[in-house]
Amino acid sequence: MVQVRVNEGLLEGERVDNHYGGSFYSFKGIPYAEPPVGDLRFKAPKPPKAWGGVRSAKEFGPKCYQNDLFMNTGIVGEEDCLYLNVYTPEIKPDKALPVMFWIHGGGFFCGSGNDDLYGPEFLIRHGVILVTINYRVDVLGFLCLDTEDIPGNAGMKDQVQALRWVNKNIASFGGDPNNITIFGESAGGGSVSYHLISPMSKGLFKRAIAQSGASTSPWAQAVEPRERALALARSLGFYSEDDKELYEFFKNQPKESIVCIPVAPTFSEAFRGGLEINFTVVNEKKFGDNERFFYGDMLDAVSNGVHEGVEIMTGTTTEEGLIIFGDLEVTKKLLESARAFPESFISKQLAFTVPLNQQLKMGREFRKFYFKDQVNIPNDWDKWMNFVSMQMFGYPTMQWVRHCAKAKKHKLYVYKFSCKSKRNMIAVLRGLTEMLGDRQVTSHADDIAYLFNPKLMKLKVDTASEEFKLIERVATLWTNFAKYGNPTPDDSLGVKWAPYTLEKQEYLDIGNELKAGTAPDAEETQFWDKLYEKYVL
C-alpha cells in the first residue's frame, strides 16, 4: 500500500514488480477534470473536485466512448472518462525525476492511456515518471459548430487540462514539474505538434516528441467542420441549422446515436486516398473570454509560433501507409480507385483549396510518379503504400520540420524508424501477412512496442534477446531526450545524433543498427515540393 496526497485529496496506489527488472509505483484512474457530461458535453473541461477520505488508484478509469477500429474491440467506454495514470520508480527520490507525458493515438476517434497498449515497464526502468491519459475522442471530443456552445477542440483542451493537473501535482509522485516531456504517436504525435503552437499549452512542458504525426497532416486539420456537424445532424433526421437548436439536439442525443457514425458532407470524399477522419482539430473562432486551443494560419504558426526554447524530436516509420490496408478485397478497391480516379490522390484538405481541374492534373502527376501510369491490381499495393506514407505522414512531417527549422530557435532532432523484429505486430493485427509474404516492414505504430509493453498483444520478451536490446536502445534514446534534451549525450550508443538544420538536413535512422544520415526521402520530398509549388502555394 502506498499513499500520495494531491490537490484534490489522498490517493492510494500500489507497488508493482517489474518483470523486466526492479519495481515501480502505480496510480491509475486519477480524475484530472470533472466528468464532461450533461451541460459539460462539448465544453472545455473543468478542474476536478476534491474528494474526502482515501481514493483508490488501483484500477483504470473508463475509456472515452468510442468504436476502436484499430484494435477491433468494438464499442467501448463512457462519457465520464477524463482520467490519467502515473507510474513512478520512486515516490521520494533524492532528486526530482523527469516526467514523460504520453498522448495516445487512434485517429482522434479511439484509444486510451491504459496498459492494453501502453504498459510502463520499459520506460520506467530508465529513471523517468510516465503519465498516460484519456481524452475525449470522435464527436464528443471534436464536434464543432463554430459557436460558443460547441467551438470545437474539446479533446485537445482535455489534454491541456491533464497537463495543468500534472504541473500542479507531479511533485507529489517524485516528479519535476519543470522537466516535462510530452510525447505521442499518430493522433498523439499530431497533438504534440499542436501543443507546440497552442497558446493554451505554452509553459506547460519543456520538451516534445511527435511520432508519426504533425499538425500539418491532412487528417489533423478539420475542413469545414460546421458542414460536417450539419451532415451528422441530417444523418440523424435533424435538419435545422439554428445554432441553439443544433446545440440542444447534440447535447441531448444518447452517446450511442452520435458517435462512430461515418459522415461525408460532399460526394467527392468518396474518392480520396489515405485515411480521412470525420472529426479532428479545428481553427477556433473567438467567443468572449473562452480560451482557444488553435487559431490562425498553420504554416505561419509553425514558422513563427513554436514555443521558444522547447526542444523537439520528430519522425516517421519507413512503411507508415501500411496502416490503411485491410484484406485483399479492400486492397483491390484502393488500387481500383487509384487507377480510375486521379482525384483519389488528393487529400480532403487539398480538395477544398485546389480547383477540380487542377486536382485531376495533380493526381495524374502523382500517379505517374508512383505507378508510371500503370496500376497493376493487386500487385502494386506497395506503390500505393509509398504514396500514402508520404501523403499522410512523411511530407507533412518534413513540412513541419522545415518551417520550424527556418526560425533557428529550436534544437530539433529528426528520425526515421526502421526497427524490424517480432515486435512489429501491425501487419499481423491488420491481417496482412499473406500479402506481405517474406517482406519485413515497419508500419505506422510499429514503434510503440519498442517503448511500451502492450498487454493486449502478449508480447513477453526475453531480456537476453536481440529484441530486448532494440527495446533498450529505443527507450534509452527517448529517455535521454527527456532527461537531457539530447538523445545521444555521450558515446554509449555508438552514434551521435546531430540536430536538424536546413543546410545539412541531419537525421538518424533508428533501425536494428543506428545510422546517422542526411536528407531523408530526398527524391520524394523534392517531387512533392514541386507539385505543391505548382498547384497549391
Q: Is residue 454 within 8 Å of residue 426, measured between CB atoms?
A: no
Q: Which grid cell is 27?
A: 496510480
How far apart are the C-alpha atoms of 313 and 478, rounded to whole Å? 9
Map grid coordinates 512542458 to a residue.
Answer: 205
Q: Please name the residues in contact with 477: beta carbons below 8 A apart, sequence gap of 6 or more.
A: 487, 488, 493, 497, 510
Residue-level pLDDT at 271 = 53
Q: Is residue 342 within 8 Å of residue 350, measured between CB atoms?
A: no
DSSP-assigned beta bridge partners for residue 514 = 510
How far apart are the C-alpha atoms of 375 and 372, rounded to whole Å? 8
Residue-level pLDDT at 265 = 60
Beta strands, E only, 405-520: 412-417, 506-510, 514-518
Residue-level pLDDT at 240 = 97
How far apart are the C-alpha atoms of 471 and 381, rounded to whole Å? 30
Q: CA-based Rg of the chain, rounded to a whole angstrom?
A: 22
In tens digits, what is the pLDDT along the chain, a chain of 537 residues? 899 999 999 999 999 999 999 999 999 999 999 999 999 999 999 999 999 999 999 999 999 999 887 767 789 999 999 999 999 999 999 999 999 999 999 999 999 999 999 999 999 999 999 999 999 999 999 999 999 999 999 999 999 999 999 999 999 999 999 999 999 999 999 999 999 999 999 999 999 999 999 999 999 999 889 999 999 999 999 999 999 999 999 999 999 999 877 676 655 555 565 566 889 999 999 998 899 999 999 999 999 999 999 999 999 999 999 998 877 888 888 899 899 989 889 988 888 889 989 999 999 999 999 999 799 999 999 999 999 999 999 999 999 999 999 988 899 999 999 999 999 999 988 888 888 988 999 999 999 999 999 998 888 899 999 999 999 999 999 999 999 999 999 999 999 999 999 999 999 999 999 999 999 999 999 999 999 999 998
Q: Is residue 284 within 8 Å of residue 385, measured between CB atoms?
A: no
Residue-level pLDDT at 303 = 95
DSSP 89-101: S-SS-SSPEEEEE
> SS3 for 441?
coil
Nearest to 319 by CA among 398, 383, 379, 368: 383
Give phi and psi for 305, each to the nearest 5.
Answer: -115, 5
Alpha helix ranges (H) inside 187-278: 187-195, 225-235, 243-252, 255-258
Burial of 504 by CB count in 10 Å (0-12 exposed, 13-18 middle, 19+ buried)?
exposed
Residue-level pLDDT at 275 = 64
